[in-house]
Amino acid sequence: MRQITVTVDFKGKNYLTNVIADHDTSEEEIMETARKQIKEQWLF
């Protein structure tokens, strides 16, 4: 497992989030996980 810090542009603002992923996880999957995390934070 590894921890990756990702910057996501959401609603015109940049957000940093951490994603925990396996070493063989693709960059596309990591970015999708990061986007989901930011969207979930906006629901509250």
Q: What is the pLDDT of residue 33?
A: 97
How many separate domains does the chain show?
Answer: 1
Q: Which helix (H) or strand (E) holds 29?
A: helix 27-42
Q: Is the pLDDT of residue 8 over 70?
A: yes
Place of tokens 């996501």: 8
The domain of 20 spans 2-42
Report how far residue 24's alpha carbon sits from residue 35's, in angstroms, rounded to the nearest whole number. Answer: 19
43: confidence class by pLDDT, cuts 50, 70, 90: confident
44: confidence class by pLDDT, cuts 50, 70, 90: low
10-39 confidence digits (pLDDT tens): 989 999 999 999 999 999 999 999 999 999
